């Protein structure tokens, strides 16, 4: 059994009460209380005084008038508000004790209250003093202990003195000193603890069994035992204080002093010891009966038994002395009421002991740096957790100031959740106590109070300490993972603990981080590609866009194959299949929202791998867009991707890039890059940007490509210009042979070219063909032809080359002049005839000689109508016809319409100028316009 000195404190305030009622000043008083808000005092005259909280006293006589009779014992049963008194005649030894039950409530209201006298029989013929008494809360059992060693049990309706039974439980050779009843939680079992001067016993009084259980072969003095709230018997002996249950002895306090009284207040034990007590307390937690209190054999203490008594308050929970002091004249009684302790001294004094509040007690402990005791006291005092944590913080600060960092950290750990972690972390960062800091941060994570910064700091501690074991333990043994996983991965990666970072990334499906670790840190490209193969196309596309360049640098073939698969699958999910009827609406509706790795996002990955970019584009185009049907119903994004793929592939070919992979499954002759470019440009399924392709071909001097572009576009004129620019006579002739009939205007450009290049072989024949075609289709006027043939210093055309053409043109011109002169003469004669006719109508009378009606051909009779055109009609034949001749009306209407058209055309100046600008012979346009007499319809406008 370990021994230690109990600390002594003054946790109680002592106050000597003045101006007490007269009842407290009488000699030989007996004090009693039991939680009923009342204190009972019995004096030597047989009177009982009831004192309330205001110290107002109500007295009554409780004994008979026989001299020498007095109250020797009192017991207040607060559950039934009953006062049990023992009345004895102290002047004679043969007197029989009288037991009375007083109703307290009636005593407070009335003066002539009659008690219930408990009937019992003396266990022996020789009367013995009654030394102990106990009663159950319901007063269904009363136990009596006599100086002769007898223990008597009375059962029944004792409060009404009816149907009581009595039996002797035990007969001991020594006096009975104390009796106490306890009951179990159900109230069905009742046990009586009994002590004599030599034994400690227990009886089961709920049944007929009366054999005692001997708890120990040692007893105690009168008033030196009690029962606590746990139904345990507390026995105070001179060397120690013992705890008993119905099973036997429990722990004990070694408190060496002659005990004269023990009482209980809350969790305190109140001890009255003879004269100055010398305390060497020990604590024995063993429940073995063989364990005793071992005292120092060198102890030379001497106890003096006088009228002074030491009053001690023991705190059994916190293992300390809460108060110790001397009561002059001895302790005559202790009353525990109204939340305080009242001690009646032998000199008529009444001392009031009140417990200090918890803050005052803690302040005392703080001043003495007794923080562990302060924590224990706060916990036992039901202090809130935040306040307890504040004590731990004070304790930790004090230990830290003493450089006891590890112990201080164990206290700081108790403050998690109540003290800001940065306060503690800052201390240990300054002191470079990383081991202690790591343990604190670990507890912080266990409590679920850690932030990502705390995770970072903890992992940094492990990594700086290079404590891989604890790092693994922290990562692998977490069940709920109370930390920020992203932060943990980042810290492990930064410190070079890649295996731990990979474990976390894999466990928490941090795919992006896992792949970065594999690719960027471990350079395990093969494993990364295998991992991406297992992902969905949408996820793989995201990580390929980010890590593809690094993968291509190490494993270009495998990475390209994966990129192709992801792109093809992504495109297929986006395009959809449409309905069975091929409805365009269904195709548009079937586009899903699955993310796709855009071709435009991929191409930059091949910045250092142009050959593999060509291989990638070839495979994607061959598998996705090579067939015409595969380009139907594309979304706008995929259409843009398709154009980008064709454009990029063309650019690669023109730059001389060769693909390392063959797309065709059949072995074929290897083509040069520009041959592939030409095939691409001639591919009718290719969907590239024409302008961009033209710029690429032009910047790379790829004439064949430009020609293919012009041909694909159908721009024959531009194609001829290209051949002319490059003096490609062969292709020029092929072009003219192919498109000459459809586009005879091509011969005009050819004429200019052949005229400027007389050195060309067979130039005369080519020139003749051009002139023949121009002449046939009248494409140019002779004057322009001659200008084209001889208008340049470089022209080498001789007169002999074009003699035939010139002669034909002169003959045609001569014939045309002759025809024109003949037409002019005819028009002039016709004009003069019309003019003479009009003059005759104006100046000469008209003779109508017709005798028949022009309409019905019947002879004319009156009334008849004659027209200037020499046609005559019966009036009846004309009917409602107006003033025009019916027979000449159609011709006259045609002339009128022609006149109106000429008048309208004379006002359409834009039409005239457009014709003039578009025609090769402007003079003919002007002459034709003037022939229609446009100025005949002008009007003068008055200003």
Q: Which residues contact 832 (CB under 8 A, 6 or more apart)?
A: none
C-alpha separations of 851 from 646, 854, 871, 887, 889 in Å: 91, 9, 10, 17, 21
Q: Higher confidence at residue 95 or residue 302?
A: 95
Counting Cα atoms < 13 Å in the Cβ hemisphere of 79 gives 7
Report the candidate in 388, 390, 407, 391 with the shortest Cα–Cα distance to residue 399.
407
- Would you state the pLDDT for residue 109? 86
Q: At what angle do helices 746-756 and 782-790 cross, to 10 degrees?
A: 40
Residue with tokens 């000193």: 177
d(CA 447, CA 430): 24
DSSP-derived secondary structure for 785-844 = HHHHHHSSTT----HHHHHHHHHHHHHHHHHHHHHHHHHHHHHHHHHHHHHHHHHHHHHS
Neighbouring CB atoms inside 10 A of 59's CB total 17
Residue with tokens 């109070």: 449
Tell me the β-bridge partners of 341.
336, 353
Q: Higher confidence at residue 698 or residue 101?
A: 101
C-alpha separations of 380 from 176, 358, 376, 620, 623 in Å: 36, 10, 6, 78, 80
Kindly indicate the confidence band of residue 697, based on its pLDDT and cuts at 50, 70 and 90: confident
Average pLDDT in the chain: 79
- Would you state the pLDDT for residue 779? 64
Bridge pairing between strands 39-42 and 350-355? unpaired
Q: How does pLDDT run across 794-805, given as a tens digit for each residue?
A: 556 666 666 777
Report the candidate in 364, 362, 363, 387 with the shortest Cα–Cα distance to residue 374.
362
- Would you state the pLDDT for residue 801? 64
d(CA 553, CA 576): 34
Q: How does pLDDT run across 20-55, given as a tens digit for each residue?
A: 888 887 777 777 777 778 999 888 888 889 998 888
- Would you state the pLDDT for residue 631? 62
Decide: 779 and 770 in contact? Cβ < 8 Å: no
Question: Which of the residue ranges 40-54, 186-200, 792-806, 917-931 would you say has the lowest mean pLDDT?
Answer: 792-806
Q: How does pLDDT run across 111-150, given as a tens digit for each residue?
A: 788 899 988 888 887 788 899 999 999 899 999 999 999 9
Q: Is the pLDDT of residue 597 over 60?
A: no
Q: Is the pLDDT of residue 1 over 50?
A: no
Q: Quote the percentage of the chain above a pLDDT of 90.
A: 17
In b/e form, how buried is each residue of 466-497, taking b as 16+ CB within 10 angstroms? Answer: ebeebbeebbeeeeeeebbbebbbbbbbebeb
C-alpha separations of 818 from 516, 555, 618, 830 in Å: 95, 88, 71, 19
- DSSP assignment letter at 287: -
Decide: 224 and 237 in contact? Cβ < 8 Å: yes
Tell me the β-bridge partners of 201.
194, 214
Question: Which of the residue ranges 38-42, 228-232, 781-785 would you say has the lowest mean pLDDT?
Answer: 781-785
Counting Cα atoms < 13 Å in the Cβ hemisphere of 444 gives 28
- Over residues 285-296, the mean pLDDT reads 36
C-alpha separations of 479 from 167, 446, 507 in Å: 65, 10, 12
Kindly indicate the confidence band of residue 570, based on its pLDDT and cuts at 50, 70 and 90: low
- Would you state the pLDDT for residue 780? 67
Kindly indicate the confidence band of residue 283, based on its pLDDT and cuts at 50, 70 and 90: very low
Kindly indicate the confidence band of residue 764, based on its pLDDT and cuts at 50, 70 and 90: low
Decide: 223 and 261 in contact? Cβ < 8 Å: yes
Kindly indicate the confidence band of residue 895, based on its pLDDT and cuts at 50, 70 and 90: confident
- Would you state the pLDDT for residue 253? 85
List the alpha helices (DSSP H) in 669-715: 673-682, 690-699, 703-713
Question: Which of the residue ranges 700-709, 721-730, 811-820, 848-857 would you say has the lowest mean pLDDT?
Answer: 721-730
Highest mean pLDDT pick, 328-332, 707-711, 878-882: 328-332
- Would you state the pLDDT for residue 593? 37
Decide: 570 and 537 in contact? Cβ < 8 Å: yes
Read off the tokens for 422: 């940065």
Q: Higher confidence at residue 542 or residue 579?
A: 542
- Over residues 461-476, the mean pLDDT reads 82
Question: Which of the residue ranges 52-56, 445-449, 931-935 would you say has the lowest mean pLDDT?
Answer: 931-935
- Would you state the pLDDT for residue 133? 94
Q: Is the pLDDT of residue 579 over 50?
A: no
Kindly indicate the confidence band of residue 763, based on its pLDDT and cuts at 50, 70 and 90: low
- Over residues 699-704, the mean pLDDT reads 81
- Over residues 256-284, the mean pLDDT reads 74
Q: Quote the percentage of the chain above a pLDDT of 70.
A: 82
- Would you state the pLDDT for residue 111? 77
Q: Is the pLDDT of residue 552 over 90?
A: no
Residue with tokens 């037991």: 99
Residue with tokens 């972690």: 421
- Would you state the pLDDT for residue 702? 81
- Would you state the pLDDT for residue 505? 84
Q: Is the pLDDT of residue 585 over 80?
A: no
d(CA 555, CA 540): 16
Decide: 697 and 709 in contact? Cβ < 8 Å: yes
Report the candidate in 890, 891, 900 with the shortest Cα–Cα distance to residue 936.
900
Q: Is 481 left (phi over 0), alpha (psi -120 to 50) or beta?
A: left
- Over residues 694-710, the mean pLDDT reads 80
d(CA 395, CA 374): 9
Q: Is the pLDDT of residue 473 over 90?
A: no
Q: Is the pLDDT of residue 845 over 90?
A: no
């Amino acid at each position: 059994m370990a021994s230690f000195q109990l600390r002594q404190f003054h946790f109680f305030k002592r106050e000597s009460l003045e101006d007490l009622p007269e009842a407290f000043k009488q000699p030989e008083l007996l004090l009693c209380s039991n939680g009923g808000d009342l204190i009972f005092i019995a004096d030597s005259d047989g009177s009982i005084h009831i004192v309330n909280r205001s110290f107002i006293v109500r007295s009554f006589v409780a004994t008979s008038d026989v001299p020498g009779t007095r109250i020797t014992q009192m017991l207040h049963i607060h559950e039934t508000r009953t006062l049990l008194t023992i009345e004895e005649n102290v002047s004679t030894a043969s007197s029989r004790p009288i037991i009375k039950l007083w109703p307290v409530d009636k005593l407070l209201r009335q003066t002539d209250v009659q008690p219930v006298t408990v009937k019992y029989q003396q266990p022996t013929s020789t009367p013995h003093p009654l030394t102990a008494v106990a009663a159950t809360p319901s007063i269904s059992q009363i136990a009596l202990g006599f100086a002769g060693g007898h223990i008597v049990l009375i059962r029944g309706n004792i409060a009404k003195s009816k149907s009581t039974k009595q039996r002797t439980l035990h007969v001991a050779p020594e006096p009975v000193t104390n009796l106490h009843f306890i009951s179990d939680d159900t109230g069905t079992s009742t046990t009586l603890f009994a002590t004599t001067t030599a034994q400690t016993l227990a009886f089961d009084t709920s049944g007929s069994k009366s054999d005692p259980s001997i708890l120990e072969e040692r007893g105690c003095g009168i008033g030196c035992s009690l029962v606590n709230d746990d139904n345990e018997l507390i026995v105070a002996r001179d060397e120690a204080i013992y705890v008993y249950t119905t099973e036997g002895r429990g722990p004990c306090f070694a408190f060496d002093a002659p005990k004269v009284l023990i009482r209980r207040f809350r969790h305190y034990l109140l001890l009255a010891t003879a004269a100055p007590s010398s305390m060497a307390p020990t604590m024995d937690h063993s429940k073995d009966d063989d364990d005793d209190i071992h005292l120092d054999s060198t102890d030379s203490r001497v106890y003096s038994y006088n009228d002074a008594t030491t009053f001690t308050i023991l705190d059994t929970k916190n293992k300390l002395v809460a108060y110790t002091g001397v009561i002059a004249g001895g302790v005559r009684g202790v009353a525990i009421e109204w939340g305080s302790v009242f001690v009646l001294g032998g000199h008529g004094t009444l001392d009031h002991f009140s417990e200090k509040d918890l803050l005052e007690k803690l302040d005392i402990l703080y001043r003495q740096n007794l923080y562990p005791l302060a924590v224990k006291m706060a916990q036992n005092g039901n202090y809130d957790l935040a306040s307890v944590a504040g004590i731990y913080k004070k304790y930790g600060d004090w230990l830290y100031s003493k450089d006891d960092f590890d112990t201080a950290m164990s206290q700081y750990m108790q403050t998690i959740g109540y003290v800001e972690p940065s306060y503690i972390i800052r201390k240990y960062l300054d002191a470079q106590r990383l081991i202690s800091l790591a343990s604190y941060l670990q507890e912080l994570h266990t409590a679920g109070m850690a932030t990502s910064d705390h995770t970072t700091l903890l992992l940094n501690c492990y990594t700086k300490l290079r404590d891989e074991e604890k790092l693994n333990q922290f990562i692998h043994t977490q069940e709920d993972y109370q930390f920020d996983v992203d932060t943990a991965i980042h810290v492990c990666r930064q410190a070079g603990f890649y295996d731990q970072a990979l474990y976390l990334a894999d466990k928490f499906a941090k795919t992006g981080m896992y792949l970065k670790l594999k690719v960027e840190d471990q350079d395990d490209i093969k494993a990364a590609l295998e991992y991406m193969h297992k992902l969905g196309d949408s996820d793989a596309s995201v990580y390929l866009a980010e890590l593809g360049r690094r993968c291509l640098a190490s494993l270009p073939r495998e990475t390209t194959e994966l990129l192709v698969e992801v792109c093809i699958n992504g495109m297929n999910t986006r395009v959809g299949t449409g309905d069975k009827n091929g409805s365009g609406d269904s195709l548009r509706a079937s586009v899903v929202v699955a993310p796709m790795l855009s071709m435009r996002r991929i191409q930059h990955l091949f910045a250092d791998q142009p050959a593999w970019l060509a291989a990638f584009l070839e495979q994607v185009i061959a598998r996705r867009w090579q067939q015409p049907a595969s380009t139907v119903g594309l979304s706008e994004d995929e259409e843009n991707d398709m154009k980008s793929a064709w454009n990029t592939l063309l650019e690669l070919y023109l730059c001389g890039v060769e693909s390392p992979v063959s797309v065709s499954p059949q072995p074929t002759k290897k083509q040069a890059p520009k041959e592939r470019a030409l095939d691409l440009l001639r591919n009718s399924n290719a969907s590239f940007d024409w302008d961009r392709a033209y710029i690429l071909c032009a910047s790379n001097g790829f004439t064949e490509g430009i020609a293919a572009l012009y041909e694909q576009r159908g721009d024959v004129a531009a194609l001829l210009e290209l051949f002319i620019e490059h003096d490609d006579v062969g292709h020029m002739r092929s072009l003219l042979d192919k498109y000459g009939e459809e586009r005879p205007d091509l011969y005009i450009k050819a004429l200019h070219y052949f005229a400027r290049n007389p050195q060309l072989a067979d130039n005369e024949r080519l020139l003749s063909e051009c002139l023949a075609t121009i002449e046939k289709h009248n494409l140019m006027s002779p004057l322009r032809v001659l200008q084209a043939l001889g208008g340049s210093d470089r022209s080498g055309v001789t007169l002999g080359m074009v003699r035939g053409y010139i002669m034909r043109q002169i003959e045609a011109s001569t014939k045309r002049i002759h025809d024109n002169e003949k037409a002019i003469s005819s028009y002039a004669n016709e004009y003069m005839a019309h003019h003479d006719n009009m003059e005759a109508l104006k100046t000469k009378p008209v003779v109508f000689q017709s005798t028949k009606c022009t309409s019905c051909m019947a002879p004319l009779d009156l009334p008849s109508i004659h027209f200037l055109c020499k046609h005559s009609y019966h009036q009846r034949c004309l009917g409602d016809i107006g003033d025009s001749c019916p027979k000449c009306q159609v011709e006259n209407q045609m002339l009128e319409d022609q006149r109106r058209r000429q008048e309208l055309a004379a006002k359409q100046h834009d039409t005239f100028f457009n014709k003039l600008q578009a025609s090769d012979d402007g003079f003919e346009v002007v002459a034709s316009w003037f022939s229609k007499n446009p100025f005949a319809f002008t009007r003068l406008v008055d200003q």
